[in-house]
Amino acid sequence: MWKRDEAVRPVSGGQPVAAAQPPAPAPAGNAGSRPETNHLMEKDIVNIGKSVVIKGELNGSEDLTIEGHVEGTIQLRDHVLTIGPNGKIKAQVFAKAVIVLGEVTGNVTASDKVDIRDNGSVDGDIISPRVAIAEGAHFRGSVDMQRKGAAAASPGAPKAAAAPQPAAQQPAQQKQEQNAPQRVGA
């Protein structure tokens, strides 16, 4: 319902002027509208500034850029973590992808990739199927590049070790393994 007092106000010259009002929210059925798209884009960009210090556990469900200091644990399992050039992290990191431009001290686990860029530094172990270390980057630790499900069938493993044994042989082997130490001592 339109109210004249809210929509139009007189100016000292006597001419009515439309009052500045915020844009009306889009109807729920109009999912592709521009205001909602801008809101989603703004929501997905999250920064922790240079002067921010966090000690403890940091969990999130959106991409994150850290320029400040974080100590503890960072968990962004399905999202990208970027450590900016001013970022200093002393934490265990779990994310979909980790991009390092600053300093990380601690183990990094990523389900997709770890990218240590020029002047980036990682002191700790990396577990990720894809790892990129740029020229000029610093890395000290170990790298485990196992793919998802690679523990079950690794390409370098002999076929006999990877093949499952028949169920009838498994109990017999288990009995032998259990009895073997007893025979030695008897």
The DSSP string of 14-43 is S-EEEPP-PPPPPPTT-TT-HHHHHHHHHH
Helix (H) or strand (E) holding 158: none
Here the tokens at position 50 are 């240079």
Is 135 domain-assigned?
Answer: yes
Per-residue pLDDT of the chain (186 residues; tens, 9 = 90+): 455 554 444 444 555 444 444 444 444 444 444 444 444 444 566 899 999 999 999 999 999 999 999 999 999 999 999 999 999 999 999 999 999 999 999 999 999 999 999 999 999 999 999 999 999 999 999 999 987 655 434 344 444 443 444 444 444 444 444 444 444 444
How many domains are contained in the chain? 1
Is 150 domain-assigned?
Answer: no
Estimate the share of the chain in helix, then strand, then coil, as percent rounded to the nearest 5: 20, 40, 40
Do residues 10 and 20 touch, judged by C-beta distance below 8 A?
A: no
Is 76 domain-assigned?
Answer: yes
Is 68 domain-assigned?
Answer: yes
Predicted confidence at residue 149, as pLDDT, reads 54
How far apart are the C-alpha atoms of 52 and 63, rounded to whole Å? 17
Is 179 domain-assigned?
Answer: no
Which of 108, 63, 104 lies closest to 87, judged by CA?
104
Is 37 domain-assigned?
Answer: no
Helices and strands per DSSP (H, E), number in the chain: 4, 14
Do residues 131 and 145 touch, judged by C-beta distance below 8 A?
A: yes
Q: Which domain holds residue 63?
A: 45-140
Predicted confidence at residue 40, as pLDDT, reads 46
Predicted confidence at residue 148, as pLDDT, reads 66
Is 91 domain-assigned?
Answer: yes
* Residue appearing with tokens 């850290």: 66
Is 86 domain-assigned?
Answer: yes
> What pTM value is reported for the model?
0.59
